[in-house]
Structure 1
Amino acid sequence: MAYSKEAEKIMVAAIDFGTTYSGYAFAFRHDYESDPLKITGNQWLTGSQAGVSLKTPSCVLFNPRGHFHSFGYEAEEEYVNLAYEEKHSDWYFFRRFKMKLYNNPQMGREDLLEDEEGNTMPAMTVFSAIINYLRGHLLDACKSRDFGLSESEIKWVLTVPAIWSDGAKQFMREAAEQGGIPSSQLLIALEPEVASIYCKNVPMNKREDSSTFECFDVGTKYLILDAGGGTIDITVQEVQGDCSLTEVYKANGGDWGGTKVDEAFEDFLGEVFTPDVLYRFKREKRGDYLELCREFEIKKRTITPELDHQKVTFKIPISLNDVYQDIKRTSLRDSITAAGKYKGQLALIGDKMRVDAEIARGFFTTTCDVITEHMSVILREPEVEGTSTILMVGGFSESAMLRHAVQKKFAGMRIIMPYEAGLSVLKGAVQYGFNPQIITTRVCKFTYGIETLNDFDDQVHPQSKKIFISGECYCNDCFSKHVEIGQSVKVGEATEERTYFPITEDQRSMRLAVYVSEDANPQYTTDSSCTYLGELTVDLPDEVEKNKRNVGVKLIFGGTELSVEARVIKTGEVTKAAFNFLNRGGSPHCEQQHKH
């Protein structure tokens, strides 16, 4: 999205919608210009667990009528209480659902989310309700401080993982619009990038590594490891002479975040208590199960590599042991003592389970190994040669186990983790809102193209692609390339114009099918490397002669979202064009356009 001086706002407000935790922060322009770190966040009360936090769990509760009830710690507490009273089954409680947009990159507007009880609601309803709540909470905070601020004077920034699809980004933009944020006031920000921007503004004495080394010297390349609860985002940036940042290797990563540690712990419980016992416990003792999850979320932060011959204690609900005895007709304590995979390595004492430190550390092994191996592959790429620094940001980066794994794997590199690594995305998003031009270049994650009909050439095209339209012979499913995977593109830069024209004279618009590929030069959209992304609709002017309505299309890359320019070749007039990446109807084959 273009950004200009005219678009400047008095305040920038950022929403970090995370897999496990979410929050918001804001700053005024005059404060940012004097001190970029003067950013205000909200302190959330942590419910029954006394204290405050700058983020709150990404949990949302809707009442039986489907109306929004609460979010965060409040939703968690209310649902646990409902579960203890066995009144929860017809309520809607969603947690850790953001990953649905990663696992289903083609999620449509009408797709459903399944909650903890198997009840469903439209995903758009859930996401937009949360954004609306956080927006309203922030506005209430401003009103209570008598800032005298109009909503039109706010620039909003919404963070998303850099590895998300174009469709997932469009989904979040539309959810934000439904949540009360005008699209014209919204920037979509990529999480590792804004974390990097935050770190660039943090004085060295507030970084974990307090040496005199400066990782933001001109010409320095550094790898950003943004380790969140759901996804791991990795990219490599280089500092330019004007202190702007360019991406030198395409954003990549996977679903290897902190929730994988939770899954490993649950797998362990399944081995100890058996899967059928754990399943029944989760279904029938929902309140106790959620309390167990909350306990582990806190406990896992205390697991460190230094634990050697010590025991790690986990609080286990008595009801889990009761379910075990009811199904197995024997005491779990007796079963563990008698035999089992973990004999001698764990013990049950009341509602406590004490395990060897090796077992506890093992919950982190798989995800840490996957992350560090993926980083190794990236650091061997020629584009990132000379990268000597790793910047660790995101909530999972605060895990001592992940830090140790990275330090061990990359012993010869400088590892830097900023102060408040878990808030680096949120605070960096505020700073990005004031200066989005700081990111000047990005690298394309895919080859992008449009499906076309070309004149058929017997010497080039396979016979299986030959089709006839109005007596003319065409080659079907041709891939008209606009940008290539790995290509470095300046922010806001338009690609070379491609010309398309309608097949029939009565068309009022053209629906162009947009495809992506992991190959540099795909020939046909049916190639195995190609994936249908969505459609681009271009209006055709009536006032131009029917046979002269050729349209020039430029795709604009480099921004956090893909955009487009289209013009009528005959008149040079700009015509309306828009993407729809949330179309579940499939490729619009009936309106394929001939590349001119």
Structure 2
Amino acid sequence: MDFEKLSIAERKIIVGIDFGTTYSGVAWAETQRPDRRVAITSWPISKTAREGESSDKVPTRLRYNGDNTEWGFSIPITAPPDQTIEWFKLDLDPSLESMGAAVTNAAARGGRGVDQLVTDYMSALGDHLMYTLREKLGEGVVKSTPLEFIVTVPAIWSDLAKDKTKQACQLANGLSATKVPIHLISEPEAAAIYALHGLDPHGLNIGDSFVICDAGGGTVDLISYTITNLKPILEVQEATPGTGALCGSTFLNMRFGKFLKAKLGREEGFDDEVLAEAMERFEKIVKRQFTMSAPPDESFIIPVGGLANNRELGISRGRYALKAADLQTIFEPVVQEVIKLVKDQITSSKVPIRAVLLVGGFGASNYLKERLRNAVDRNIQIMQPPNAWLAVVHGAVMKGLAQSAPEKLTMVKVQNRKARKHYGTEWRTRYDEKIHGHLRDKRHWCGLDGCWKVYTMEWFIKKGDSVSENEPFFTSFVWTGPVSQGRIRKIKMDIYADRTARLAPMTKDENVSLLCHVEADVSHIPENQLQRRKGTDGQQYYELNCKIEAVYLSASTQYTLLFNNSRYNSVTAEYV
């Protein structure tokens, strides 16, 4: 394939941002060299040292130090823990019972809300990205080539949390200055595009199904795909609505911190600094080395500088010997939760699963892989693709390339997704005693049609339905209003969602929640183009025939109002 044939108009720099709970990653590619995806692996350790630390990802951490905003590796390890803000990503979705708020100390935030924290972090990330691009490609190329961003979000998040992420990115310096398009993709889908692309093509058959388990720092997201086509490109469709929970490796760190405090917290010299260094060692080395084959009395060395020797506790020369048996107690409850998620996903797929692909930082854990291997059916392979930690960010770049030139740059195509919930809206229907008898006291008289009416739900999509981003869903409706109340200026509509496992209900109840307000301004349409009809009560009524078009993308939804053969993309969807 000759990528150089891309027209000048199609040339872009595609940037993937994996904004994570504990670590974040950035990768990019030029559309004319799509097979050369580059992940940023060099990070600043201070305002002046732009490339002091080498790592595949950078910690998602902030510290406000006077007028300085420190981030990632530029926060000194000696900085008091109560000044460092971490795990704040989880506060974007308060609907998940997150431990985010409990951990990110209010004092360090100085009254800043989560939106501000995300914007500040993204600004620092965007700034470093622009510096890196100028270093690697030269000022001229960066100035003359448009950028496009693909930002990843957990699939289990609410639409509001996803929308908040996008808005925070749009406000971030470095991303906003260039008014670049920002698209969202769900983390497990990005991981799947990368992981499935990397599978040995000779071993694949149409009809094979895989579970992708994207286990990160805060969230674990799962999704299953079935191969529907192998050539010219790999095409897949979702086999079941995705699932997930908060049970990532952050919880291991929390459990380790608790364990260490309980064990050594009363020793003289044990303080926040000792704990911070121990946590660092656990995060970077011990957590990744631990395997099931470790004998129970094997020890892993944790630095505890300044603590007196104590043979009984296992402290010698400023080092604490952490036993494998203790590590297992730290790991087990978190691993159990992931195993349960994987088994439930396999069961709900209703198709035989060939393999589970483990990706993400926690997905790279040897212990998790071995425990899963023992827990699921022997015929199901457990695989860890190379570079599992970067799978999400590479997949995001691949998705961005595909969006910019679908014919030439698509490597793995997700044909259909399964709706994760019921989506619909509420309309007035003619009251029918046989169907709506139980709603008798909720009916009201309609002067236009001269009959009783009642509000019921109209669902565009039901949970588990196949949705494709190439095929929009349409819903027709009639917008009415008495002419005596003045001309219609806005057509409004509320979109609802119901994420329970039940059948879509006929009427709105406590499980049906408002998802967003959709609004289109029609005040510029000449009065004589607004249809009218005389009601049975003798009054004049406006009666506008409209349609709503809904397109369900990987991690967002677009609503467009169609009226009078015009498209109102200006429909503002405000998520609740």
TM-score (norm 2): 0.81
| The one of 515, 522, 526 aligned to 1:533 | 515
Who is 2:189 aligned against? Answer: 193
Match in the other structure for 2:289: 302
1:449 to 424, 432, 436: 424
- Tell me if the contact between 1:12 and 1:156 (Cα under 8 Å) persists in the aligned partners: yes
Equivalences for 1:348-363 in 2 at 5 Å?
Answer: 348-349=315-316, 351-363=318-330
The match for 1:155 is 148
Kept in 2: contact 1:222–1:391 (CA 8 A): yes
- Structure 2 distance, partners of 1:464, 1:348, is 74
Distance between the aligned counterparts of 1:491 and 1:296, measured in 2? Answer: 42
Q: CA 1:575 to 1:28, structure 2 compared with 1: closer, same or farther past 3 Å?
A: closer
Paired letter, 2:362: F
Residues 63 and 454 (structure 1), Cα distance of their counterparts in 2 relative to 1, 3 Å cut: farther
Q: Check the 8 A contact 2:15/2:147 in 1, yes or no.
A: yes
Aligned residue identity for 1:465: K
Contact 1:114 1:121 in 2 (8 A): no
Whether the aligned pair in 2 keeps the contact of 1:453 and 1:474 (CA below 8 Å) is no
Deviation at 1:574, TM superposition (A): 2.3
Q: CA deviation at 1:235?
A: 0.4
* Equivalent in 123, 126, 143 of residue 132 of structure 1: 123
Q: Name the CA shift for 1:412/1:579 in 2 (closer, same or farther; >3 Å).
A: farther
Whether the 8 Å contact between 2:494 and 2:516 is mirrored in structure 1 is: yes
Which residue, out of 492, 495, 511, partners 1:511?
492
CA distance in 1, matches of 2:439, 2:86: 50
Tell me which residue corresponds to 1:465.
442
Aligned to 1:221: 209
Structure 2 counterpart of 1:308, one-letter code: P
Residue 481 of structure 1 aligns with which residue? 459
- 1:315 is aligned to 302
For the residue of structure 2 that corresponds to 1:162, the secondary structure is coil
Deviation at residue 262 of structure 1 after TM alignment: 1.3
Q: 1:552: which partner in 2?
A: 547
How far residue 106 of structure 1 moved from its aligned partner, in angstroms, is 12
Residues 561 and 571 of structure 2 are in contact (CA less than 8 Å); yes or no, is this contact kept in structure 1?
no
Specify which of 157, 164, 167 is matched with residue 171 of structure 1.
164
Per-residue deviation, 1:115: 4.5
The answer for the alignment partner of 1:13 in structure 2 is: 15
**Structure 1: distance between partners of 2:57 and 2:513:** 36
Candidates 392, 395, 401, aligned match of 2:358: 392
Residue pairs, 1:392-471, within 5 angstroms: 392-410=358-376, 411-436=378-403, 438-459=413-434, 460=436, 461-467=438-444
Give the secondary structure class of the aligned counterpart of 2:112. Answer: strand
How many angstroms apart in 2 are the aligned matches of 1:392 and 1:166?
A: 25
- Alpha-carbon distance, 1:99 to partner: 1.5
1:250/1:486 contact within 8 Å kept: yes
> Structure 1 regions of 5+ residues with no counterpart?
205-211, 323-331, 338-345, 584-596
The worse-fitting range, judged by mean Cα deviation, of 243-252 and 193-202 is 193-202
Q: In 1, Cα distance between the equivalents of 2:224 and 2:8?
A: 31
Task: Give SS of 1:15's match.
Answer: strand
In structure 2, distance between residues paired with 1:355 and 1:94: 27
CA contact (8 A) 1:224 1:390 kept: yes
Q: Shift in Å at residue 126 of structure 1?
A: 1.3
Mapping of 1:284-299 within 5 angstroms? 285-298=271-284, 299=286
The Cα of 1:488 is off from its aligned counterpart by 0.6
Report the CA distance shift for 1:151/1:398 in structure 2 as closer, same or farther (over 3 A).
farther
Shift of the 294–58 alpha-carbon distance from structure 1 to 2, 3 Å rule, reads: same
1:375 aligns to 2:342 (yes or no): yes
Q: What is residue 57 of structure 2 aligned with on the other side?
A: 55
Paired AA for residue 38 in structure 2: I
Q: Which moved more, 1:166-175 or 1:39-48?
A: 39-48
Contact 1:46 1:53 in 2 (8 A): no
**Kindly tell me: are residues 455 and 271 of structure 1, through their superposed partners in 2, closer, same or farther at Cα, counting changes over 3 Å?**
farther
Q: Which amino acid aligns with 1:29?
A: T
| 2:494–2:517 contact (8 Å) kept in structure 1 | yes
1:72 is aligned to 72
Displacement after TM superposition at 1:124 (Å):
1.7
Deviation at 1:149, TM superposition (A): 2.2
What does the per-residue CA deviation read over 1:534-591, in whole Å, with 9 as the maximum and x for residues that have no partner?
A: 22123334423360334221222244310112122xx2222355354444xxxxxxxx
TM-score scaled to structure 1, two decimals?
A: 0.79
- Where 1:552 maps in the other structure, the secondary structure is strand
State the SS of the aligned residue for 2:420. coil
Q: Deviation per CA, 1:414-436: give whole Å up to 9, x if none.
A: 22211111011111211111114
Q: Deviations over 1:237-272 (max 9, x none)?
A: 122224222112112111111112112223323543
% identical equivalent positions = 19
CA distance in 2, matches of 1:106, 1:523: 29
Q: Secondary structure at the match of 2:473?
A: coil
Quote the RMSD (CA, aligned, Å): 3.5
**CA deviation string 1:41-69 (max 9, x = no partner):** 33236799x962121111112234xx552
Deviations along 1:487-539, one digit per CA (max 9) or x if unpaired, are 0111132213231414455442233222211233212222x432222221233
Unaligned segments of structure 2, at least 5 residues: 1-5, 407-412, 533-541
Q: Residue 7 and residue 131 in structure 1: after superposition, are their counterparts in 2 closer, same or farther (change >3 A)?
A: farther
Equivalent pair of 1:93/1:116 in contact (CA under 8 Å): no
Look up the SS of the partner of 1:496 in the other structure.
Answer: strand
Corresponding residue for 2:240? 249
Shift of the 130–101 alpha-carbon distance from structure 1 to 2, 3 Å rule, reads same
Give, in angstroms, the shift of residue 358 of structure 1. Answer: 1.2
- Say whether the 8 Å CA contact 1:68–1:129 is kept in structure 2: no
1:521 aligns with 2:487: no
